[in-house]
Structure 1
Amino acid sequence: MIALLDKAPLGVAVRIARINWNAMSDDEGRRLREFGLMEGCEIMPLHRGSIFSRDPLALTIGRMKVIIRSNQAAAIEIEAITA
């Protein structure tokens, strides 16, 4: 099942299926690539913004914690990790 990262449940590891690089600026895309966000990468959404906002989204990539914006997360399609 494919879903968008901005709607992903927290605390559940998922795999990046596809990233719509055209939905973000070149600088945003470069920054996400530098963090290791690529198709096939396993990530875990940790928490979202505050009580009043869903922005930003914190996630784990390997041992690193990264913060991305909700609009960036909406450009990332994810899938469940099957054993």
Structure 2
Amino acid sequence: MTALLDRAPLGVAVRVTRIDWNAISVDEGRRLREFGLMEGCEIVPLHRGSLFSRDPLALTIGRMKIIIRSRQAAAIEVEPAAA
């Protein structure tokens, strides 16, 4: 069962199944690839913006913590990571 990263539960490891590279700019795509965010990687959504906003989204990729915008997260499909 796949879902979009912007709706994934916090604190639960997920695996990236697909990224709609056309939905984000070339520079944003390059930045995400440099951080290692690509199909097949495992990530953990940590927390979302403020009380009134879902933007931005903090997540871990390996040992690194990064922040992405909700619209970028909406272009990323994920599934539960294998236990």
TM-score if structure 2 supplies the norm length?
Answer: 0.98
The structure with the largest strand share of the pair is: 1
Q: Which residue of 2 aligns with 1:49?
A: 49
| Paired residues, number | 83
TM-score if structure 1 supplies the norm length?
Answer: 0.98
1:64 aligned partner, one-letter code: M
Q: CA RMSD in A?
A: 0.6
Q: Which residue of 2 aligns with 1:63?
A: 63
Q: Which residue of 1 aligns with 2:25?
A: 25
Moved over 4 A (4+): none
The gaps in structure 2 that reach 5 residues or longer are none
Q: Which residue of 2 aligns with 1:36?
A: 36
Deviation at 1:82, TM superposition (A): 2.2
Deviation at 1:52, TM superposition (A): 1.1
Deviations 1:27-74 (A, max 9, x none): 010000011000000000000000010000000000000000000000
